Chains A and B, each alone.
Chain A
Amino acid sequence: MILGRVIGTVWSTRKDEKLVGAKFLIVRQLNLDYSPKNSFVVAVDSVGAGVGEVVLYAQGSSARQTTLTKNKPVDAVIMAIVDKLDISVKDKEKEVAAE
């Protein structure tokens, strides 16, 4: 899964009929220090995520493994809202650079 932040919503009336009822959110990928990356995805929301929230999203065929997205043309799904993350193994290169 990838860490991301919900930055927006997509509405679409003319779409594949299997997608009717799905909620599409725009998610921007984040580094683990929450700094934004230049990678975006439109993902179906399966947990009620709101704009601004830090989330996890799954991609590829795994995205169809929910009751909401089963057999639907979906390759990205938001499946968790992040409370907290903790990096316990520091990055040696960054440490050397920081000294």
Chain B
Amino acid sequence: MNLGRVIGTIWATKKYEALEHQKMQLLQPLKFDLEKDGDPIIVVDTIGAGPGEVVFYITSSEAVIPMDVDMAPVDAAIVGIVDSINIENN
């Protein structure tokens, strides 16, 4: 999993049928110090994160697991909203 921040939303009516009714969000990947880490990506959000919230997300074909479909062309999905992060020493 990786950290990210939801920075916006995206709408697409014409899409692969398994993606119907799935919310997709714009996400800025973050390092552990919450600095930006590369380019923004689009993720499926089954958790309901709001804009600005720090989340953690999964990539690759596991991203379809949070969705209640057996097959969907999805390579990134939010799996949790972060309450707090504590780093002892890095």
Contact = CB atoms under 8 A, between A and B. Distances in A.
A65 B59 CA distance: 14
Interface residues of A, number: 35
Given A60-B75, A62-B61, A62-B74, A88 B51 contact: yes
A1 B71 contact: no
Given A62-B75, A65-B72, A83 B12 contact: yes
B7 A60 contact: no
Interface in A41-91: 46-48, 56, 58-67, 69-70, 77, 79-89, 91
A2 interface: yes
B66 interface: no
Contacts of B63: 62
A32 interface: yes
